Amino acid sequence: MSVLIQAEHLTRYYGKHCAVNDVSFTLEKGQVLGFLGPNGAGKTTTMQMLCGNLAPSAGQIKINGFDLLDQPKTAKRYLGYLPDTPPLYKDLTVQEFLEYCGLLHDMSKPDLRQGVNRAKERCGLTDVADRLIANLSKGFQQRIGIAQAILHNPEVIILDEPTVGLDPLQIREIRSLIRELGQEHGVILSTHILTEVQESCSHVQIIHQGRLVLHETIAGLNLQMDTGILLITTRLPADTALLNNIPGVTCLEQLSPLQFKIHHSVTDNPTEHIAQSIIAAGWGLEELLPLKRSMEDIFISLTQEHHDS
């Protein structure tokens, strides 16, 4: 697969504050990369550096093989960008605005006509093409923002918080569009909404306090979410130190004198050994329940772990 974005050791300071700290990753064609993190984690700063709107303090960005700092005009031809607030001229109609955006991209008349029609169709704007943008709903305005980003059929599409402020139906439609765009392009989707990533993306990376703390496929993440935790209740207090030493147990979390969680290895599952040990010791096994980890659990454990370290 062709590498569309290559970001190496990106760092950005605002005065003495380090907003992005040594971030490196790649994006390939056919990938939808969810860029996930709490507010203030460095997502928007990274997006702005990737689009050339903000120069990194250190590091290098290549778009489709072209260095964004050395060859900015060439590199940006391969980019489509939707900021967190869509850059709309609300006194224009949808048609007028998209044609204007096409002229900014220096598109020829035949390419412009084709690009505007394709963007309107893909974003569900054909029926409102002659309406003033100011008179359209937030959902339609968000679609217009995406339409201007894909108008020139760029290889890379970067969307910063594309569903913020939308109702559930509008969110579902935008997510469906993002998945569709991901089949032919490389897409980066910045969000702090966990379900957004699960619904729309093929890969996920989590940024926290300017550092990448996870880069994983959604399939790999789902594997982490399916296994790994047992909720156990006993009739009498158990010797947790003994259970903690069972092979495959990674840590034990005491919830009450009679209830605890055991985190365990996926490959070396100690469930049977744990059950036998509790019964043999006479502590009375009342409940043994495998828990499915949610994406929220993984997100919190990763960000908490790096916050404490």
239 and 144 in a common domain: no
50 and 169 in a common domain: yes
C-beta neighbour count of 140 within 10 angstroms: 18
- Residues 197-203: contacts with CB under 8 Å, at least 24 apart: 197/34, 197/36, 197/295, 198/295, 199/175, 200/32, 200/34, 200/175, 201/32, 201/33, 201/34, 202/30, 202/31, 202/32, 202/33, 203/31, 203/32, 203/33, 203/34
Q: What is the 3-state secondary structure (H, E, C) of 201-268?
A: CCEEEEEECCEEEEEEEHHHHHHHHHCCEEEEEECCCCCHHHHHCCCCEEEEEEEECCEEEEEECCCC
Asked if pLDDT for residue 253 goes beyond 70, the answer is yes
Output the pLDDT for position 307.
57
268 and 235 in a common domain: yes
CA angle 233, 236, 242 (to 5 degrees): 80
Decide which of 189, 207, 225 is a domain's last residue: 225
Output the pLDDT for position 1.
61
Output the pLDDT for position 14.
95
97 and 64 in a common domain: no
Strand order in the sheet with 17-28: 17-28, 3-14, 58-63, 66-67
247 and 212 in a common domain: no
Tokens of 147: 């339409």
Asked if pLDDT for residue 305 goes beyond 70, the answer is no
With bands split at pLDDT 50, 70 and 90, how would you rate the model's confidence at 265?
confident
211 and 281 in a common domain: no
Asked if pLDDT for residue 293 goes beyond 70, the answer is no
With bands split at pLDDT 50, 70 and 90, how would you rate the model's confidence at 165?
confident
Computed on alpha carbons and rounded to an integer, the radius of gyration of the chain in Å comes to: 24
Quote the mean pLDDT of the chain: 90
Output the pLDDT for position 75.
95
Output the pLDDT for position 171.
87
**The domain containing residue 218 runs over which residues?**
1-78+154-225
Domain assignment present for residue 303? The answer is: no
Q: What pTM was computed for the model? A: 0.77
Output the pLDDT for position 226.
60
Give the residue among 183, 163, 179 at the shortest CA–CA distance from 171: 163
The answer to whether the beta carbons of residues 275 and 292 sit under 8 Å apart is no
- Give the count of domains, the chain: 3
Output the pLDDT for position 235.
95
Token match 């300071």: residue? 13
Asked if pLDDT for residue 308 goes beyond 60, the answer is no
Domain assignment present for residue 297? The answer is: no
Name 160's bridge partners: 190
Distance CA 215, CA 213 (A): 7
Asked if pLDDT for residue 4 goes beyond 90, the answer is yes
Of the ranges 86-90, 189-193, 217-221, 300-304, which one carries the lowest mean pLDDT score? 300-304
> What's the count of helices (H) and strands (E) in the chain, helices before strands?
11, 14
Asked if pLDDT for residue 294 goes beyond 70, the answer is no
Output the pLDDT for position 306.
57
66 and 4 in a common domain: yes
260 and 148 in a common domain: no
Phi-psi group of 193: left, alpha or beta (phi > 0 → left; psi -120 to 50 → alpha; rest → beta): beta
40 and 159 in a common domain: yes
Output the pLDDT for position 237.
94
Q: Phi and psi of 289, rounded to 5°?
A: -125, 115
Name 26's bridge partners: 6
pLDDT digits (tens, 9 = 90+) for 146-161: 999 999 999 999 998 8
Asked if pLDDT for residue 217 goes beyond 70, the answer is yes
Distance CA 19, CA 9 (A): 13
**What DSSP string describes 8-45?**
EEEEEEETTEEEEEEEEEEEETT-EEEEE--TTSSHHH
92 and 2 in a common domain: no
pLDDT digits (tens, 9 = 90+) for 26-39: 999 999 999 988 88
Average pLDDT for residues 280-299, to the nearest whole number? 84
With bands split at pLDDT 50, 70 and 90, how would you rate the model's confidence at 218?
confident
Tokens of 65: 């093989």
Coil, helix or strand at residue 56: coil
Output 218 or 304, whichever has higher pLDDT. Answer: 218
pLDDT above 90 as % of the chain = 65
